[in-house]
A and B are shown apart, each in its own frame.
Chain A
Amino acid sequence: MKKDMLCWLSIAELAAGYRAQEFSPLDVTRSLLDRIKHLDDQINSYIAVLEDSALREARASENRFVKGASLGALDGVPVSLKDIFHIAGVPTTAASKILTDSVAGEDSAVVKKIRATGAVLLGKTNLHEFAYGITGLSSHFGPVRNPWDLEHITGGSSSGSAAAVAAGVSYASVGSETGASVRRPASFCGVVGFKPTYGFISRRGMLPGAWSIDTVGVFGRSVSDAVTFAGALVGYETSDPFSQLPGDSKRSMAKHEGMSGLRIGVPRMYLNEDVAEETRSTFEVALMNMEKQGARVSDFELPSVRFTAVTLTLVSASEISSYHRQWIHDRPDDYCTDVRDRLYLGLGISAGEYLLAQRARRRIGDELQEAFSKIDVLVTPTTPGPAPRIADGVTALKDRPLEVGYHHSNLVRLPSLLGLPVISVPSGQTRGGLPLALQIVGRPFDEVSVIRVAHAVERAAGFLERHPGLSVEGGGRHE
């Protein structure tokens, strides 16, 4: 196999190649490190590349394969993680000036899990500063650019993780969500973003944002890759008070396919004028394909959901600002401007208003619980349109965090607010070649249904073989 094609293999294909000794973990790791050196100046997806330790881990993996002692599906697979997760001996910067030299004393729970699989940790990915923003442009280490077109945003906050997977400089990556920080960049970058149920993957050793909302999620180029990676990270962590895991979780993370009999709800009243025409038409085609495969698709009214964006904004802004209250007093000029303004907003919310939002959250949850007695999953476009141009600014994202009403901004925040499992899957491309995606939302701990639909959407979309046209000569145009 040509060296420049290795980066597009699936995780299963990598494992098969290792077992057949067609190539080794060291070959693949060297190939990706080389690709990072040549390409990452264009997209800026990494804050730190851990070359020495990655090569050591790859050699150890290679030895295991030689001895026939592979640790499993992820052994020797180069992966990355958002720079809010601790790796012992490495700074956890959160893409901030404030934490630039803050070296972690021990591995986060996620890193311990990754090490146990034998995967190779390539490095730490860039993000919107402190995971508190939706563009991926505000970072002490510079903005992340979309591999499909360098003039477009990646979305945030897990911008570097999405861009790295899309550009073939990481096979999978760990991110986190407070408001859609896995799904939004996944959608804009044409990769799969999977956020399991709240608490499914431990946050121990992850810098906090909003503690009642933050959830770990993953990126992969395919549903199988994302599910395989997420499956390796789940597990109850006794030292994490937010960790939770039902007894059959391992079964539920296994591969499930087929749509027959699934009941799919579409909250169509929220697909307002914010939703772009190409996003809308691609979404309708995906729904028709689901029906052809035996799913029952119906419109579904969820009136309380119109309060979702406001509720999430109040809860998250209060909690995040609480965490930052000392730094924002002592070092306000060390924050990116947009992040600082959001922290100020949170400090202007009273305790009573925070509790009001928590009550609203409960009411919205009650409505969803009732809905999930009649449907198995909700399906919506992940974002209202494709990745906007950087030059068009944040307003092009059509985000309405403080508006009550029937608009799309509620849909993207709903799984975060309620801790529901959700996956974003590429569903097509615009005429200009930018990726489009839809999200599948399930009831708590029902990852099975979410994954079933995701596999079907992926097959129908035929997006898997498409990759950004990045080259060592530069460019960043889609193919």
Chain B
Amino acid sequence: MKAMGQPPLSPSTRLTMLASLSLSSKERETMLAAFGHLSQAVESLEGFVSPEATPATTFSPQKSRQEDP
């Protein structure tokens, strides 16, 4: 699915968010791979919830007001 919102953070940008944790080189390698999957997942979600993909009406204010005592 094509992303409609912001591009996801890159795996290397995500790794900088862990800078204070002093990861070993093996851990950095593991997390870079995991963050690659995460970035792809985020990109898919952007397409799923983008304004273009959202139905015009998912909420009816008039109905809600009527139900509100």
Contact = CB atoms under 8 A, between A and B. Distances in A.
Interface of A: 304, 307, 310-311, 313-314, 328-329, 332, 341, 344-345, 347-350, 352-353, 356-357, 359-360, 363, 366, 402-404
A356 to B, nearest CB: 6
A307 B38 contact: no
Interface residues of B, number: 29
Given A341-B34, A353-B8, A348 B18 contact: yes
Interface string B11-44: 0001101101101000100110011011011101
Does more than half of chain A's interface fall in helix, strand or loop, or is it mixed? helix
A307 B45 CA distance: 7
Contact of A363 (B18, B30, B48): B48
Contacts of A329: 20-21
Contact of A310 (B21, B31, B41): B41
Does more than half of chain B's interface fall in helix, strand or loop, or is it mixed? helix
A404 B44 CA distance: 7
Nearest to B9: A350
A308 B48 CA distance: 11
A345 B31 contact: yes
A360 B40 contact: no
B49 A344 contact: no
A341 B31 contact: yes
Given A307-B45, A404-B44, A349 B18 contact: no
A332 B34 CA distance: 18
Contacts of A341: 27, 30-31, 34
Nearest to A356: B45
A352 B6 contact: yes
- Report, nearest first, the 3 A-B pairs whose CB atoms are least far apart: A348-B14, A310-B41, A402-B37
Given A353-B42, A360-B48, A404-B41, A344 B58 contact: no
Residue in A348, A353, A363 with the greatest tally of chain B CB atoms within 10 Å:
A348
Contacts of B18: 344, 347-348
Given A307-B44, A341-B31, A360-B48, A348 B38 contact: yes
A251 B54 CA distance: 38
B49 A356 contact: yes
Contacts of B37: 402-403
Contacts of A366: 58
Contacts, number: 76
Nearest to B6: A352
A345 B41 contact: no
Residue in B18, B27, B44 with the greatest tally of chain A CB atoms within 10 Å:
B44
B21 A328 contact: yes
Contact of B45 (A310, A328, A344): A310
B25 to A, nearest CB: 14
A314 B45 CA distance: 10
A24 B60 CA distance: 59
Given A307-B45, A347-B18, A350-B9, 19 more contacts: A307-B48, A310-B44, A314-B38, A314-B42, A314-B45, A328-B21, A329-B20, A345-B38, A348-B9, A348-B31, A348-B34, A349-B38, A353-B8, A353-B9, A356-B49, A357-B45, A363-B48, A363-B54, A402-B41
Contacts of A403: 37, 41
Given A360-B49, A402-B37, A344 B42 contact: no
B53 to A, nearest CB: 9
Contacts of B40: 402
B37 to A, nearest CB: 4
A307 B46 CA distance: 11
Nearest to A310: B41
A313 B38 CA distance: 9
Contacts of B20: 329
A350 B16 CA distance: 12
A445 B14 CA distance: 39
A409 to B, nearest CB: 12
B27 A356 contact: no
B21 A344 contact: yes
A302 B16 CA distance: 37
17 contacts: A310-B41, A313-B41, A314-B38, A328-B21, A329-B21, A345-B34, A347-B18, A348-B14, A348-B17, A352-B6, A353-B9, A353-B42, A356-B42, A356-B45, A363-B48, A403-B37, A404-B41
Contacts of B9: 348, 350, 353
Nearest to B55: A366
